């Protein structure tokens, strides 16, 4: 199918989806604009039904399957929810094969939308093979997460929705390439001078490598906190479209992704999953030269595991020096820990966590190891605390990250 045919499908999909999805807002971000020295707009697909853009492609694809009563898909996240939700609206049954270790909140979301969650295998690839087996045995269609023209067209409706804006570049998360393929076709058709830039995690770079080499490159292993875009290989169709319409794809690491998630929560008061934070991570990483330009970041979803969000928040606080971790040894005598706590109180620091370890075999039997996590105004305050404690004859040092 050629790009003009897909663009026609994008316009049809826009009409089809109008009564079903939310036309999500585009918000200017003063905070990210200031940090990146660009004028930054956020396309908030984390506000979309099911918490992700995936419902767009799933519903459009399934709405055209007349007479179909059941479908099957493989997914550990957003595609699963998009297919389940769409099936519930269209009077279909949806079987979703998910890896055994999929977080419970994602499994429960599928069930909540009326889908049947089938836990199988340890990876997406295992789940995919099982879903294809079910499709063949039961004679029901498989809904591919990205390498399908109707899925691409549904995702491309985002490109139509931002086309009224005056912008120089749009930055899009990339996994298998369905989202950026649809957006790129729409944007290049309507705003040919605008740049379309993809972002993929450094730990799962299959589309990045394939884009550069001009052929499908399959990675052996893939890992990132941006779990929504972890694929070992892009699609045949999506790679062809990316090579024709996408200007560039860049990589960001998990620290950059975590910082973007943190920033969007703290400054924009919005919860974003790892994949959704990729455009902001790329913009703040220094890998793109877009200073002074008007830029749209597609925030693709907000379905993040609460426990993962908690770990990311604490990690970033430590990395940015807004929390510090100090460790030392104290004589095993009454009142020694109080001496440390009194110094912390005098300096106005807040104690987040204390570990008091008596059984460490590497510590002298008459000593106790103490570790404190503290909220502080800035990283430089660690030196002040350590200096005060050492001045009291207490051996403490900062744990660095």
pLDDT in tens, 58-74: 999 999 999 999 999 99
Low-confidence spans in the chain with pLDDT less than 50: none
pLDDT digits (tens, 9 = 90+) for 180-223: 999 999 999 999 999 999 999 999 999 999 999 999 999 988 88
Structure tokens given for 275:
């994949």
The values of phi and psi at residue 324, to 5°, are -125, 155
Q: What is the pLDDT of residues 71-114, one digit of tens each?
A: 999 997 899 999 999 999 999 999 999 988 888 888 999 999 99
- Enumerate the active-site residues: 54, 300
Q: Are 185 and 177 in contact (CB under 8 A)?
A: no
pTM of the model: 0.90
CA 332 to chain centre: 46
Name the one residue in this structure whose structure tokens are 């026609």: 8
**Residue 359: what pLDDT?**
82
Q: String of b and e for 255-279 (b: at least 16 CB within 10 Å)?
A: bbbbbbbbbbbeebebbbbbbbbbb
- Going along the chain from its start, the domains and CATH numbers come out as 3-52+148-314 (3.40.50.1100), 66-138 (3.40.50.1100), 321-398 (3.30.70.260)
Sheet containing 116-119: give its strands across.
70-74, 93-98, 116-119
CA-only gyration radius of the chain, Å: 25
What does the pLDDT read at residue 221?
A: 83
- Tokens at residue 341, please? 């706590």
Residue 401 pLDDT: 61
Per residue in 37-54, pLDDT (tens digit) is 999 999 999 999 999 999
CA-CA distance, 157 to 323, in Å (whole number)? 42
Round to the nearest angstrom and report the end-to-end CA distance of the chain: 50
């Amino acid at each position: 199918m050629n790009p003009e045919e897909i663009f026609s499908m994008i316009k049809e999909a826009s009409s089809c989806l109008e009564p079903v999805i939310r036309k999500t807002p585009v918000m200017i971000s003063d905070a990210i604009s200031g940090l990146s020295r660009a004028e930054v707009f956020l396309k908030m697909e984390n506000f979309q039904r099911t918490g992700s853009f995936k419902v767009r492609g799933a519903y459009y694809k399934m709405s055209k399957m007349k007479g179909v009563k059941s479908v099957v898909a493989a997914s550990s996240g957003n595609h699963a929810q998009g297919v389940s939700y769409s099936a519930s609206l269209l009077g279909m049954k949806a079987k979703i094969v998910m890896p055994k270790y999929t977080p419970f909140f994602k499994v429960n979301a599928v069930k909540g939308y009326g889908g049947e969650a089938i836990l199988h295998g340890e990876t997406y690839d295992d789940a995919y093979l099982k879903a294809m087996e079910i499709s063949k045995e039961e004679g029901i269609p498989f809904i591919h997460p990205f390498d399908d023209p109707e899925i691409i067209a549904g995702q491309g409706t985002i490109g139509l929705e931002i086309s009224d804006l005056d912008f120089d570049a749009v930055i899009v998360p990339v996994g298998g390439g369905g989202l950026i393929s649809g957006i790129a076709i729409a944007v290049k058709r309507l705003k040919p001078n605008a740049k379309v830039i993809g972002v993929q995690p450094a730990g799962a770079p299959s589309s990045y490598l394939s884009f550069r080499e001009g052929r499908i490159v399959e990675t052996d292993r893939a890992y990132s906190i941006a779990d929504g875009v972890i694929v070992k290989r892009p699609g045949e169709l999506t790679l062809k479209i990316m090579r024709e319409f996408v200007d560039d794809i860049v990589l960001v690491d998990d620290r950059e992704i975590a910082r973007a998630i943190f920033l969007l929560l703290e400054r924009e008061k919005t919860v974003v999953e790892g994949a959704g934070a990729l455009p902001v991570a790329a913009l703040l990483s220094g890998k793109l030269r877009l200073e002074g330009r008007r830029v749209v970041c597609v925030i693709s979803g907000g379905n993040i595991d609460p426990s993962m969000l908690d770990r990311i928040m604490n990690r970033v606080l430590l990395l940015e020096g807004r929390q510090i971790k100090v460790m030392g040894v104290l004589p095993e005598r009454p009142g020694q820990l109080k001496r440390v706590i009194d110094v912390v109180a005098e300096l106005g620091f807040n104690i987040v966590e204390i570990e008091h370890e008596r059984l460490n075999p590497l510590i002298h039997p008459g000593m106790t190891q103490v570790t404190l996590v503290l909220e502080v105004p800035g990283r430089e305050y660690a030196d002040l605390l350590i200096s005060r404690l050492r001045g009291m004859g207490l051996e403490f040092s900062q744990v660095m990250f």
